[in-house]
Amino acid sequence: MSSTLLNGYTALPASGTGDPVLVLHPWWGLNDTIKAFCNRLAEAGFIAFAPDLHHGQIATTIPDAEALAGVIFNNLDSARAEVGAALAFLAEHADPDGRGLAVVGFSLGAFFALDAAIRLPESIRSVVAFYGTRPSEAADFVNSKASFLGHYAETDDFEPAEEVAKLEAALKQAGRPVTFHHYPGTGHWFFEPDVVQAYEPAAAALAWERTLAFLKRS
């Protein structure tokens, strides 16, 4: 079962109940790939909600996506508030015990997933980052309650290897449980089938298996 709610997309398992997962889209927007990812989570027994940070706009070219991302980062406080509202919405409807949520972020969405783990530490118990980072120091994550899983490309023009290494080091220095995977022969967006020039089915399948196992145990 799926529906459009709170300026976003919700997918529910057949049982109607399950652990909650917030899904944060890449700079393309809340497209069919992200909705399909939510549906896969629901089929696996999770409640998934993906807020629409682009408010109905979807990009299919890099220049258009850059423009949409620019709007978000020029209004960073507003975007952060929307992510916070989405967390609160999902917690209210799917986390009655207050255990905290899992957050999965893709590229731009990974920035906000990591950012939320810092700003709203009591709300988030686990983070999955697909080929995205944020400028980070160990001190940023000392109050975080989350464990972290990262999926990164071997060659990525948008996320240099040194930035990924800095993030991993910051998380470890803060004492957070962290596992980063690097996928040989891949580039940015390797998980997204609609980005045909980057999609790598074998790597995407492995990243999905690892994500599902992580979400089930975290």
Query: The domain spanning residue 28 has which CATH number?
Result: 3.40.50.1820
What's the structural domain count of the chain? 1
pLDDT attached to residue 114: 97
- Give the tens place of pLDDT for each residue, 129-147: 999 999 889 999 999 999 9
In terms of phi and psi (left: phi > 0; alpha: psi -120 to 50; beta: otherwise), the region of 55 is left
pLDDT attached to residue 1: 37
Range of the domain at 78: 2-217
Mean pLDDT of 174-192: 97
Mean pLDDT of 8-15: 94
pLDDT attached to residue 4: 40
**pTM more than 0.85:** yes
pLDDT attached to residue 94: 83
Quick one: what percent of the chain has pLDDT higher than 90? Answer: 89
pLDDT attached to residue 173: 96
List the one residue out of 12, 166, 71, 161 whose CA is nearest residue 4. 12
Handedness of CA 127, 131, 135, 138 (dihedral sign): positive
- Can you list the pairs that 121-124 forms with residues at least 24 positions away whose Cβ atoms lie under 8 Å? 121/145, 121/146, 123/87, 123/88, 123/91, 124/87, 124/100
pLDDT attached to residue 5: 44
Helix (H) or strand (E) holding 74: helix 62-74
DSSP assignments along 43-72, one per residue: HTT-EEEEE-TTTT----SHHHHHHHHHHH
